[in-house]
Amino acid sequence: MTLPKIKQVRAWFTGGATAEKGAGGGDYHDQGANHWIDDHIATPMSKYRDYEQSRQSFGINVLGTLIVEVEAENGQTGFAVSTAGEMGCFIVEKHLNRFIEGKCVSDIKLIHDQMLNATLYYSGSGGLVMNTISCVDLALWDLFGKVVGLPVYKLLGGAVRDEIQFYATGARPDLAKEMGFIGGKMPTHWGPHDGDAGIRKDAAMVADMREKCGEDFWLMLDCWMSQDVNYAIKLAHACAPYNLKWIEECLPPQQYEGYRELKHNAPAGMMVTSGEHHGTLQSFRTLSENGIDIMQPDVGWCGGLTTLVEIAAIAKSRGQLVVPHGSSVYSHHAVITFTNTPFSEFLMTSPDCSTMRPQFDPILLNEPVPVNGRIHKSVLDKPGFGVELNRDCNLKRPYSH
């Protein structure tokens, strides 16, 4: 089989600060009013009272969704979405295009390495540039799968299990249990600036959910970089009587020594996890070396599927789990091939967590959701990532080349 070359790469955006609000899609923080994901959740900005009540108040949704589409010479296309918005479009159309167009559709690793090295001088250790590279990488995998007629998980070597089981992230673990999920992860609402009163309030929330969910249902806390080491240790011990399975992302990404101290002082049996906002392979290696129990890369932010596979190998070599931050089909196709990913995350994007809404709704068509907390591998048996772009969304292409 002769594989075609890539003819063109294009980039659109929707939502964010320069478009309509509440667009959802790849930037799942960009939701409308009265949504749990924007309701007094602890963040690094919570210490400033003006930005305590709402994450959108400090601009968590300003980027919007980036959509990257790559077209082969034979007319077939692949695409992906992430969080980078209009600025990501500029990077794709004005810089990264030179490493993509003219390459064979199978040259994914070559393109990936060239994008990483060409942006080192302005990419830092992740963020907007890495989100953009991740989106391109995912679009390339989607195109390759469509050209050869295989789902991405088969390009990675095939499934190691028949289904993926999920825990749910949202404000209502009790509803997640009713839907068949194996666990529920709640956001914390208080931080170090609230003192011991904040610890008592979040521990009381865990206690209440433990009573509602019973003893065997997993409960976890997502702290979203909002704490310091001492506060995190105290919160972990305050929640220990309620059998908290893990405490997540207590500290900012680069505080590796802090994670080591937290792991050393965490209650017996409680796992310490992080990785959602780490953006390079090297950062995950350091995180692994500091004894984290579960690494949680976001495939749309960490460098794409190409990097996620490498992160999983690092974790496996140390007997650690890798459970990606919820990324819908983009992580489904990976985790079903990883032996050290026994479960995965589903992010509840319905406003009150009472219904099953696809994570990247409305930008993806045919995006699967768990049934009774599970997705069978047969659901993934479509070429590429198995989803289509909803072109009825208000897509804008601000740049071209």
Give yes or no for a contact between 79 and 61, defined as CB atoms under 8 angstroms apart: no
Q: Which of 325, 333, 376, 401 is catalytic?
A: 325
Number of domains in the chain: 2
| Pair 165, 67 in one domain | no
Give yes or no for a contact between 97 and 119, defined as CB atoms under 8 angstroms apart: no
Q: Which residues contact 271 (CB under 8 A, 6 or more apart)?
A: 245, 246, 247, 293, 294
Say if 112 falls within a structural domain: yes
| Pair 119, 102 in one domain | yes
Say if 54 falls within a structural domain: no
Annotated binding residues: 29, 55, 222, 248, 276, 345
Q: What is the 3-state secondary structure (H, E, C) of the chain?
A: CCCCEEEEEEEEEECCCCCCCCCCCCCCCCCCCCCHHHCCCCCCCCCCHHHCCCCHHHCCCCCCEEEEEEEECCCCEEEEEEECHHHHHHHHHHHHHHHHCCCECCCHHHHHHHHHHHCHHHHCCCCHHHHHHHHHHHHHHHHHHHHHCCEHHHHCCCCCCCEEEEEEECCCHHHHHHCCCCEEEEECCCCHHHHHHHHHHHHHHHHHHHHHHCCCCEEEEECCCCCCHHHHHHHHHHHHHHCCCEEECCCCCCCHHHHHHHHHHCCCCCEEEECCCCCCHHHHHHHHHCCCCEECCCCCCCCCHHHHHHHHHHHHHCCCEECCCCCCHHHHHHHCCCCCCCCEEEECCCCCCCCCCCCCCCCEECCCCCECCEEEHHHHCCCECCCEECCCCCCECCCCC
What's the rounded Cα separation, in Å, for the pair 141 and 306?
9
Say if 32 falls within a structural domain: no
pLDDT in tens, 262-306: 999 999 999 999 999 999 999 999 999 999 999 999 999 999 999
pTM of the model: 0.97
Annotated binding residues for substrate: 29, 55, 345
**Sign of torsion, CA 11 17 27 235?**
positive
| Pair 124, 188 in one domain | no
What's the rounded Cα separation, in Å, for the pair 198 and 190?
5
Question: What is the Cβ-side half-sphere exposure of residue 80, based on CA atoms within 13 angstroms?
Answer: 34
Is 325 one of the catalytic residues? yes
Q: Which of 83, 118, 149 is the last residue of a domain?
A: 149
Residue type, 187: P
First to last CA, the chain: 31
Q: Which of 102, 125, 149 is the last residue of a domain?
A: 149
Give yes or no for a contact between 133 and 139, defined as CB atoms under 8 angstroms apart: no
| Pair 112, 183 in one domain | no
CATH code, 135:
3.30.390.10
pLDDT the model gives residue 110: 99
Say if 227 falls within a structural domain: yes
pLDDT in tens, 155-205: 999 999 999 999 999 999 999 999 999 999 999 999 999 999 999 999 999
Say if 297 falls within a structural domain: yes
- Residue 128 vs residues 43, 150, 294, 295: alpha-carbon distances, Å: 19, 30, 24, 21
| Pair 259, 202 in one domain | yes
| Pair 179, 248 in one domain | yes
| Pair 67, 100 in one domain | yes
Say if 292 falls within a structural domain: yes
| Pair 217, 323 in one domain | yes
Annotated binding residues for Mg(2+): 222, 248, 276
| Pair 99, 213 in one domain | no
Residue 121: domain span = 6-27+63-149
Say if 1 falls within a structural domain: no
Say if 394 falls within a structural domain: no
State the Rg of the chain over Cα: 20
What's the rounded Cα separation, in Å, for the pair 121 and 133?
14
| Pair 337, 216 in one domain | yes
* 271 bridge partner residues: 246
| Pair 126, 210 in one domain | no
Spans of the chain, pLDDT less than 50: none
What's the rounded Cα separation, in Å, for the pair 93 and 295?
32
| Pair 262, 320 in one domain | yes
CATH code, 302:
3.20.20.120
Q: Which of 132, 149, 166 is the last residue of a domain?
A: 149
* 165 bridge partner residues: 374
